[in-house]
Amino acid sequence: MNNFKRRKLVNMLASGVALTCVVLAVVPLIYILIEVVRIGAPAIDWEFLTSRTKGTGEPGEGIGNAILGTLLLVGYASAIGLPIGIFTGIYVSEFGNNRFGETVRFFNDILANFPSIVIGLLAYALVVDYMDVGFSLIAGAFALAIIMIPIVANTTEEALRMVPNSLREGALALGVPRRRAVMRIMLVNAKAGVVTGSLLAVARIAGETAPLILTAFYSNYWSASPFEPIASLPQTIFRNYNSPSEVLLQQAWGAALVLITIVLAINISVRLLMRSRTKKSKAVKKTWLTRLSLRA
C-alpha cells in the first residue's frame, strides 16, 4: 500500500498548501489594521479632528476639513447616485425581462468593474471642463455617483428578486396598480437589501481616491461650496504619504485611521445586520446572503 500512503501524503500536503494560502491572504489585512492603528492612533485627538489641514507641517494641523469634505462628497454623490441606482434596479427586476433590460444589466456589470480613474476622467471631461465648473465638490460627487450607480442597481435588483412572488401576485390580484405594487409592496419588502447595497456603495466611494484627484482636487480651507475644490480623507493621505515632514506624515496615518474606521464599520455592521436577519429565513440565507458574501 505504498501508493496509498503516497496519495494520503499528497492529500495532506495539498490541504496544508490551501490553508497556507488563506493565511497568506489574511495576513496583509491584519497587518494593515495593526499598522494603521499603531501609527495613526497617537495622532488622534480633538484638535486633530477639528482643525483644518494647512499643508505646512507646523504643529496644530488637523484633518477636520478633510472629514467634512468626505462627508459632503459622499452625501452629494448619494443624493445623485442612490435614486438613479435604485430605479435602475427596479427597472431591471420588474420590467427588464427583455433585450433592453439585459443590455442595462450587462452594462451595469461592466461599469461596476470599471477602473475608477477612467470614471474620474469622464467626470472631468463633462463637469470640470465642458460645463466649466472647474475642480469642485460637485464634479467629485458626480464621479462618485457614477461609481455608485451599478452597485446600488445590482443589489436592488437582487433584493427585489428575493421578495416572494406571492406578495406581488396578491397585491395585483387585489387590484393594486402595478406602480403601487412595486413602490409600496415590493420595495418595502426588499428594504433590507436595498439599504445594504446602498451602505456598501457608500463605504466603497468613501475610500475612492483616483477620481477625486481628477475632479475635486484639494483645498486646505474649510469649504462647503459645491463649486469649490474640496479636501477629502483619501486625498489627505495621498498628498502626505511621502512627505518629509513628520507632522504631515502623521496626518496621513491619522486620516487613514479615520477612513478605515468608517469603511470597516459600515462593512461589518452591514454584515451583522444581514446575519441577524437571515437567521429568520433559511431561504434568504442560502441565496442572497451567500451570493453577496461571495462576490467581491
Specify whether the CB–CB gap between 34 and 22 falls below 8 A: no
Q: Which three cell numbers stand for residue 23?
A: 493565511
- 181-200 residues in contact with another protein (CB under 8 A) are 182, 197, 200
Specify whether the CB–CB gap between 181 and 171 falls below 8 A: yes
For another protein, the closer of residues 62 and 229 by Cβ is 229
Q: Does 154 bind another protein (CB under 8 A)?
A: yes
**Which SS3 state, helix, strand or coil, does residue 57 take?**
coil
CB of 29 to another protein, least distance (A): 5
Q: Which three cell numbers stand for residue 208?
A: 475612492
- Answer for which of 26, 41, 79, 224 binds another protein (CB under 8 A) is 26
- Residue 228 is classified by DSSP as S
Please give the Cα distance from 25 to 28 (Å, whole number). Answer: 7
Q: Which three cell numbers stand for residue 147?
A: 461609481
Cβ neighbours of residue 197 closer than 8 Å, sequence gap 6 or more = 85, 151, 152, 154, 155, 156, 158, 159
**Which SS3 state, helix, strand or coil, does residue 45 take?**
coil
For another protein, the closer of residues 79 and 264 by Cβ is 264
CB of 203 to another protein, least distance (A): 6
Phi/psi at 27 (nearest 5 deg)?
Answer: -55, -50
Q: Does 279 bind another protein (CB under 8 A)?
A: no
Amino acid at 36: V
Please give the Cα distance from 271 to 200 (Å, whole number). Answer: 10
Specify whether the CB–CB gap between 288 and 159 falls below 8 A: yes
For another protein, the closer of residues 48 and 288 by Cβ is 288
Binding mask 220-259 for another protein (x = CB under 8 A): --------------x--xx--xx---------xx--x--x
**Interface stretch with another protein, choices 7-15, 48-56, 57-65, 220-228 (CB under 8 A):** 7-15
Specify whether the CB–CB gap between 205 and 143 falls below 8 A: no
For another protein, the closer of residues 67 and 90 by Cβ is 90
Q: Which three cell numbers stand for residue 276?
A: 441577524
For another protein, the closer of residues 72 and 151 by Cβ is 151
Q: Does 35 bind another protein (CB under 8 A)?
A: yes
**Interface stretch with another protein, choices 47-55, 59-67, 90-98, 219-227 (CB under 8 A):** 90-98
For another protein, the closer of residues 46 and 244 by Cβ is 244
> Per this entry, what is the length of the chain?
296
CB of 50 to another protein, least distance (A): 22
Q: Does 295 bind another protein (CB under 8 A)?
A: yes
For another protein, the closer of residues 46 and 174 by Cβ is 174
- Answer for which of 55, 87, 134, 220 binds another protein (CB under 8 A) is 87
- Answer for which of 68, 146, 194, 248 binds another protein (CB under 8 A) is 146
Specify whether the CB–CB gap between 166 and 189 falls below 8 A: no
**Which SS3 state, helix, strand or coil, does residue 110 take?**
helix
For another protein, the closer of residues 10 and 224 by Cβ is 10
